[in-house]
Amino acid sequence: MKVLTGKAFCRLLEKHNWQLKRIKGSHHIYAKEGVPVRISVPVHGNKTLKRGLQRHFMKISGIEEGDL
């Protein structure tokens, strides 16, 4: 699986109709209409996300590995 940075994952979420609701510190909070959960993506410069965290975000958002 390709590991993305926080910035790149935010762009991917926006491409899949997730909306940025707010930014608190270095965490970008995304929500999507009809989905009861929010995703808080840590954006720390060009640091990559941990694999488990990225998998969790992908599962919640419905993003497949082929979309990376």
Question: Is 26 among the domain residues?
Answer: no
Q: What six digits make up the tokens of 3?
A: 């590991």
Question: Is 21 among the domain residues?
Answer: no
| Angstrom distance (rounded) from CA 59 to CA 57 | 5
pLDDT of residue 40: 95
Question: Is 45 among the domain residues?
Answer: no
pLDDT of residue 67: 79
Question: Is 27 among the domain residues?
Answer: no
Q: How many domains does the chain have?
A: 1
Domain enclosing residue 64, as ranges: 1-13+32-40+50-68
pLDDT of residue 13: 94
Q: What six digits make up the tokens of 33?
A: 């209409």
Question: Is 19 among the domain residues?
Answer: no
* E strands, 1-68, in order: 19-24, 27-31, 39-42
Question: Is 62 among the domain residues?
Answer: yes
- Residue 68, pLDDT above cutoff 90: no
Question: Is 24 among the domain residues?
Answer: no
- Residue 66, pLDDT above cutoff 90: no
| Angstrom distance (rounded) from CA 42 to CA 67 | 20
